[in-house]
């Protein structure tokens, strides 16, 4: 359905662009009305902004343009899903936003600070304090217990051991793994391992959670529970979440879907609009079916006859 929708949007790209701009400024106005003077743009509400971001990997003679002039704004507290075919640049984009890599060209602002020109030590600082990562392959250290895995990023923040133990217990309990704290990853199921990774991502109370296909290696039930934790976090703590997914059912739990193709964002879809459109399509299909149904047609004709005879 989303694919179809994106196709349709592609054809009327310009129009959507205009609508998008109008919607964007409308949202901006609403926020401004509530929180800030009218003459200020909603810049204070943007936590991530990418301006004309390019990433080119050079491999000998070959250049791969993984990102090609990507522009994006993410609002504070927004839940954004990123979709797109394999190789379209989703992970590259996440790595840029997560300060794991720097762009070849363009600017990336995190909380108003340009991170595209920062040196590694500053990037590491930001990464540790502001960002929590969740990867498709969990990326847990296999020799450490769940608790030690969650404690690890806190070590880099210089937090004392007692406090680290307390925090890791709190988050492992939050993801319902209080009884598995001393297990190593290979003693846990895929879903449990991903929940340890979520607890680890949450341990620093990050402002932004970046989840790159967090449900990609999980069965649908474990995937659903991971998704529920992310939604809870988004709702209750107002954490900004960017989640890459292949699964449109999962993407539809976000507020907005950005669709990437060939290193560019080709469409932004507002999830409420998609749901409304789907409901309308379903209603129209039902109506069409009932029109085509001879029994219903017969009833309609006879009702019509009665009315006209009256």
Contact between 91 and Mg ion by CB under 5 A: the answer reads: yes
Other beta carbons within 10 angstroms of residue 234's beta carbon come to 20
Contact between 193 and Mg ion by CB under 5 A: the answer reads: no
Site residues for ligand ADP, 62-81, by CB under 6 A, read 64, 66
d(CA 103, CA 158): 29
Residue length, the chain? Answer: 310
- Taking CA atoms, 200 is separated from 9, 204, 306, in Å, by 38, 8, 70
Contact between 88 and ligand ADP by CB under 6 A: the answer reads: yes
> How near is the Cβ of 101 to ligand ADP at its closest, in Å?
8
Cβ closest to ligand ADP, residue 59 vs residue 307:
59
Q: Which stretch binds Mg ion (CB under 5 A): 63-71, 88-96, 100-108, 113-121?
A: 88-96
| Selected binder of ligand ADP within 89, 132, 153, 223 (CB under 6 A) | 89
Contact between 204 and Mg ion by CB under 5 A: the answer reads: no
Contact by Cβ (8 Å): 224, 245: no
Residue in the structure block whose two tokens are 């290696």: 217
Cβ closest to Mg ion, residue 20 vs residue 216:
216
Alpha helices, H only, 44-160:
90-97, 120-130, 146-156
Torsion of CA 156, 160, 164, 166, to 10 degrees: -170
Cβ closest to ligand ADP, residue 86 vs residue 221:
86
| Selected binder of ligand ADP within 16, 75, 83, 92 (CB under 6 A) | 92
10 binds, among Mg ion, ligand ADP, none (CB under 5 to 8 A by kind): none
Residue in the structure block whose two tokens are 């300060």: 99
Q: Say if residue 171 is exposed, middle or buried (CB neighbours under 10 Å; 0-12, 13-18, 19+).
A: buried
127 binds, among Mg ion, ligand ADP, none (CB under 5 to 8 A by kind): none
Q: What is the DSSP letter of 60?
A: T
d(CA 86, CA 206): 28
Contact between 256 and ligand ADP by CB under 6 A: the answer reads: no
d(CA 46, CA 76): 6
Here the tokens at position 65 are 């343009």
Contact by Cβ (8 Å): 269, 84: no
87 binds, among ligand ADP, Mg ion, none (CB under 5 to 8 A by kind): ligand ADP
Binding mask 36-75 for Mg ion (x = CB under 5 A): ----------------------------------------
> How near is the Cβ of 56 to ligand ADP at its closest, in Å?
9
Q: Which stretch binds ligand ADP (CB under 6 A): 69-77, 83-91, 271-279, 296-304?
A: 83-91
Chain positions contacting ligand ADP, by CB under 6 A: 57, 59, 64, 66, 84, 86-92
Chain positions contacting Mg ion, by CB under 5 A: 90-91
């Amino acid at each position: 359905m989303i694919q179809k929708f994106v196709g349709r949007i592609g054809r009327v790209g310009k129009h959507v662009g205009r609508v998008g701009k109008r919607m964007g400024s409308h949202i901006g106005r609403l926020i401004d009305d509530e929180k800030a003077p009218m003459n200020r743009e909603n810049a204070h509400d943007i936590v991530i902004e990418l301006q004309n971001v390019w990433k080119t990997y050079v491999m000998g003679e070959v250049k791969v343009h993984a990102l090609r002039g990507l522009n994006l704004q993410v609002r504070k507290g927004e839940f954004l899903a990123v979709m797109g075919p394999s190789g379209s640049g989703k992970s590259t984009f996440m790595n840029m936003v997560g300060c794991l890599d720097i762009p070849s060209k363009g600017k990336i602002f995190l909380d108003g600070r340009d991170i595209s020109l920062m040196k590694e030590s500053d990037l590491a600082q930001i990464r540790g304090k502001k960002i929590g990562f969740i990867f498709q392959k969990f990326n847990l250290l296999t020799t450490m217990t769940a608790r030690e895995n969650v404690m690890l990023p806190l070590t880099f923040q210089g937090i004392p051991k007692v406090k680290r133990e307390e925090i890791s217990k709190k988050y492992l309990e939050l993801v319902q793994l209080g009884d598995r704290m001393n297990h190593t990853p290979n003693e846990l199921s895929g879903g449990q391992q991903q929940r340890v990774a979520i607890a680890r991502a949450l341990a620093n109370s990050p402002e932004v959670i970046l989840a790159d296909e967090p449900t990609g290696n999980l069965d649908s039930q474990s995937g659903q529970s991971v998704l529920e934790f992310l939604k809870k976090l988004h709702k209750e703590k107002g954490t900004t979440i960017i989640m890459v997914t292949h699964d449109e059912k999962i993407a539809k739990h976000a507020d907005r879907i950005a669709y990437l193709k060939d290193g560019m964002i080709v469409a932004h879809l507002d999830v409420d609009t998609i749901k409304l459109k789907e409901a309308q399509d379903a209603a129209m299909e039902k109506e069409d079916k009932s029109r085509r149904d001879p029994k219903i047609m017969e009833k309609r004709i006879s009702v019509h006859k009665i009315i006209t005879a009256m």
